[in-house]
Amino acid sequence: MKKISIKILATILVAILMLANFGFLSTVLAANYPYSGSTYEWENPFYPDFQYQCTWYAWGRFAEVTGCKLPNLGNAYQWYDNAPAENKSQTLQEHSIIVIDRNGYSPYFGHVVYIEAITDGVVYVSEGNYDGYGNANGFHEGTKTIESCTVGNNYYGGDGRVLGYIVAPAPQPPADTEAPVINNVTVSEKNSEGLTITADVSDNVGVTKVSFYVTINGQEKVFNAPSISDGKASVRINYADYGLTEGTSTATANIWAYDDAGLTSNTGNIGTVNIDLDAPVISNVKVTNVTGTSYTLTFEVDDNVGVTKVQCPTWNEDNDRDEMEGIDWGTDPAYTAIEKAGVYTYTVNINNDTFKNEGGEYRTQITAYDEYGNVTKEDINVDVYPVTDVTLNETEKTIYKGQELVLEATYEPIYTTGDTEIVWTSSDEEVATVEDGVVTALKEGTTTITAEVDGVKATCEITVEEIPLEGIAIEEQNVSLNIGEEKDLHVLFNPENTTDDKTVVWTSSDESVITISEDGKVKALKAGKATITATVGDKTATTEITVNEEVTETEESNSVLPKTGDMQVVALAIGMLVSILGIAFIIKKNRK
C-alpha cells in the first residue's frame, strides 16, 4: 500500500510538472501545436511509412511554422549532411531542427528535434517518437539547456552528439519586374582609328551585361562592354574591324542592357553618326624671321570637314624632347597657331624658361586636328643660334681730349642666326662720342662705350684727360716784304701736345699795308709797317712786318750808279771780253 501510494504521488507530481510545463509552452508554441499531420500531410515525404517518427514530425512541424518544405533527407542522422547548403547552420536558433547522432542505440537512425523557442537560456523543444527505439509513441515537448543543444555536445548527456541545425533559408526578395534603364548615350574620342560609345545604365537589382549593336557601312557587329563602372558602360569601336581605312561613312548603334532577372532593355541608340577618315592637309610651310632667339612658321591647313585646332609643340633636338615633359601641349594655348585669312602663323621664342635661350636645331611639329579626331603632323627643323658673347679689344682706356681711339668688337658664335649689326653707344656723349667703333674724346671725364650685338653687350671704360695750353709764339719775326709779296706765318704751341683747341685767329694792325688770311698767309700791299697778331683761346703772339718802298723807272734812269743786279751783269761781260782778248793774243803770238 505504501509503495502504491509513493507511485501514485510520483505520478501526480510528474503530471503537475508536465501540466505546468505545457502551460508555459502554450504561450510560445504555435496555435496548432503539436503537429497532427493535417498540415502538408500528403507532401510530407515520411508519410505514411514513417508517420509519428521523429523525421515525420520534425519535417511537418518545420514546414508548418516556417513554410519551408524540405526534401527527403533520409534517416535522422543523415539530415545535416543531406540538407541543401542554404538549410544548414552551425548556429543555435529558434524554429530550427537539431540533428542528433544517436550512436549509442541500435538500430542506428539518429534523432531530429524541433526548437520551438529559446528564452532566458532555456531551449523549448518538441519531437516525435520520443523513446528512440522505433516505437511510434506520438510527440513530446520539453526543455533543454543551451549547452546540451550546442553543436558537438551530447544532447542526452551521455550520448547523442549534436551535428548541426536545419534552418529555413533567408526570405527571398520579390521577383524583379523592372527592366534596366539606358540614358545619356554619347559618342566621344572620335579619331582616324575609331570612336567610343558610352551609356549610363541602371537597374533596381543590377545590370549584368550591356551589348552594343553597331552598324557601319551596312555591317552590324556586336560589342559587349568589358565592364560596368559607376553606372557607365562603354565600348571602343575600331573602324579597321569594318575594313574602313579612308573616306567618309556613317555609324548607327542600338544598346541592350540585361539585369540579374534576365530582363532586357534596348532603349539606347546613338542616331546617325558621321565618320570621316580624311586627315587635314598641311601645305605651303615657310620659315621666316629667323633670329638668334626666334623664328616664325607660316602655313596653310585644309580639311574636307573643317579644322578644329592646330598645335605646334617645339623642342630642341639635342635635348631629346625634355622641354615637352609634363606639358599638355595639345590643349595649351601657348602652342596654338593663329589663323588669319586662311594662313596659320606660329612664332617660336627660345629666350624663356622653357628653352633657356639654348642654341641648336629646333623641331616644331605642326599638328592639325579636324572635328572627327583625324590628325596630321609635319616636322619642321630650324637652326637657331643666339649670340652668346661679345668682346672688345679694350676694356678700359685713357685718352686725351681731341684724340681718337678705334675699338674692335667680336661676337660668338660666328655662325649665329641672330642680327650681327654692332650698335655703338656712349654713356656720356659730352665726354666722348663713338661711331662705328671710333671713339672721339671731347672733354675731360669718363664715359662707358658699349658695343651691342643682338642684345648681348660688351663695354669699355674711357677716361678723357686734358693738357692745357700755356702759351704761343709766331715763328717768323721781323719779316721784310716787297709790295705784292706773300708769306706764310706759323704758330708755335707751348706745350706742343696741348689738348686745348689750337684754332688760330689772325689779325693785322693795318690791313691797308698787310692783309692776312684765316690760315696765316700775309700779303704786302704798300710800303709801311703792320703788326700781325695770332690768338689761340686766351693766348696771343705778335710779329712786325715791314713793306719796302717801291722804286720808279725815272729814279732808275737818273741814278749814277747801276743797281746791284746790273753791276753784276756788267762785271760778267767785262770778264768774258778780257778772256776772249787774251785767247786771241796767245794764238797770234804762236803764229809768228
| CATH number of the domain within which 375 lies | 2.60.40.2060
| C-alpha 63: how far from chain center | 72
Same domain, 66 and 162: yes
In this structure, are 43 and 147 located in the same domain? yes
Contacts of 250 (CB under 8 A, 6+ apart): 216, 272, 273, 274, 275
6 with 145, same domain? yes
Q: Could you write out the DSSP letters of every residue in 510-548? A: -TTTEEE-TTSEEEE-SSEEEEEEEEETTEEEEEEEEEP
Q: Is residue 449 part of a domain?
A: yes
pLDDT digits (tens, 9 = 90+) for 423-468: 999 999 999 999 999 999 999 999 999 999 999 999 999 999 999 9
Does residue 374 share a domain with residue 267? no
| Cell 504521488, located at residue | 9
Query: Is residue 176 situated within a structural domain?
Result: no
Question: What is the 8-class DSSP label of residue 155?
Answer: T
How many CB atoms within 10 Å of residue 15? 10
Q: Which helix (H) or strand (E) holds 61?
A: helix 54-66
Among residues 276, 291, 307, the one where a domain terminates is 276
What is the rounded distance in angstroms from the CA atom of residue 489 to the CA atom of residue 258? Answer: 124
CA distance 158 to 169: 32
Contacts of 93 (CB under 8 A, 6+ apart): 115, 118, 165, 167
Please list the helix, strand and coil fractions of the chain in percent, rounded to the nearest 5, in that order: 15, 40, 40
How would you classify residue 537: left for phi > 0, otherwise alpha for psi between -120 and 50, otherwise beta? left
328 inside domain: yes
Per-residue pLDDT tens over the stretch 467-516: 999 999 999 999 999 999 999 999 999 999 888 889 999 999 999 999 99
Q: Are residues 22 and 84 in the same domain?
A: yes
Mind listing the pLDDT tens digit of every residue in the chain (592 residues)? 444 454 444 444 434 434 434 333 333 343 344 666 667 778 999 888 888 888 999 999 999 999 999 999 999 999 999 999 999 999 999 999 999 986 655 567 889 999 999 999 999 999 887 654 545 556 788 899 999 999 999 988 767 899 999 999 887 667 778 899 999 999 998 888 889 999 999 998 889 999 999 999 889 999 999 999 999 999 999 999 999 888 888 999 999 999 988 888 887 788 888 888 888 999 999 999 999 999 999 999 999 889 999 999 999 988 877 778 888 888 899 999 999 998 999 999 999 888 888 999 999 999 999 988 889 999 999 999 999 999 999 999 999 998 999 999 999 999 999 999 999 999 999 999 999 999 999 999 999 999 999 999 999 999 999 999 999 999 999 999 999 999 999 999 999 988 888 999 999 999 999 999 999 999 999 999 999 999 999 999 999 999 998 765 555 555 444 544 455 555 566 666 756 666 555 555 545 4
Q: For 562-582, give the DSSP string.
A: PPHHHHHHHHHHHHHHHHHHH
Q: Do both 271 and 214 map to the same domain?
A: yes
CA triplet 498, 503, 508: central angle to 5 degrees?
125
- The CATH number covering residue 32 comes to 3.90.1720.10
d(CA 7, CA 90) in angstroms, rounded, equals 42
Does some domain include residue 556?
A: no
- Give tens-digit pLDDT for 157-206: 767 899 999 999 887 667 778 899 999 999 998 888 889 999 999 998 88
47 and 157 belong to one structural domain:
yes
Tell me the per-residue pLDDT of 196-236, one tens digit each, with 9 for 90 and over.
999 999 998 889 999 999 999 889 999 999 999 999 999 99
β-pairing, 111-119 vs 97-101, is antiparallel
Q: Which residues pair with 462 in a beta bridge?
A: 397, 447
Residue 174: inside a domain: no
Distance spanning both ends of the chain, measured CA to CA: 246
Residue 423 is assigned to a structural domain of this protein: yes
- Residue 206 in any domain: the answer is yes
Residue finishing a domain among 432, 465, 498:
465
DSSP character at residue 35: P
- Is residue 487 situated within a structural domain? yes
The count of domains in the chain is 6
**158 and 22 inside one domain:** yes
Q: Are residues 486 and 351 in the same domain?
A: no
Q: Are residues 285 and 300 in the same domain?
A: yes
Q: Is the dihedral of CA 419, 420, 421, 427 positive or negative?
A: positive
CA distance 327 to 354: 10
* Domain coverage including residue 292: 281-384
Residue 496: CATH number of its domain = 2.60.40.1080
Please give the C-alpha separations between residue 351 and each of 316, 318, 357, 455, 577, in angstroms, as whole numbers.
13, 16, 4, 11, 103
Q: Both 201 and 106 in a single domain? A: no
* Beta carbons of 279 and 288 less than 8 angstroms apart: no
Which pLDDT score is estimated for 404? 94
Is the same domain home to 22 and 98?
A: yes
Q: Report the DSSP beta bridge partners of residue 396.
A: 461
